[in-house]
Amino acid sequence: MIPGSPEWHARINRMLVEESKLPKRWFYISFAGPKFLGAVFVEAQGPATVTRRTHELGINPGGEALTIELTEENALPPPEMRNRLLSKAELEAWTPIERVET
């Protein structure tokens, strides 16, 4: 299926309808082309609504997207890191896991 084709749009529309029935959760989505383009922590109902939400917020830089749902095992970032495009340096400066020196 070719992105942007009528079949692709139909599939995305079906996904959006199905996801609209789900509760909102937090997701991490990173964007890359030949290099890292940025990442976002955003609240949505699923992978399709995550992408739509980044477009609504004007923080989708394009490229390929990797979406990961945040679970209880993942820590939610502080409010100032949510709903905005983050650089690699910002992500590397923050870690949700307490590091233990050995």
**CB distance 76 to 41 below 8 Å:** yes
| Whole-number percent of the chain with pLDDT over 70 | 88
Residue 35's identity, in one-letter code, is K
Give me the pLDDT at residue 93, please.
87
Q: Is the pTM of the predicted complex or chain greater than 0.75?
A: yes
**Cα–chain-centroid distance for residue 101?**
31
The 8-class DSSP code of residue 80 comes to G
Query: What pLDDT, on the 0 to 100 scale, is given for residue 28?
Result: 94
Q: For the chain, what is the mean pLDDT?
A: 85
How does pLDDT run across 48-96, given as a tens digit for each residue?
Answer: 899 889 999 999 999 999 999 998 666 788 899 999 999 999 988 886 6
| Measured distance CA(59)–CA(39) in Å, rounded | 9
- Whose tokens are 């949510």? That residue is 82
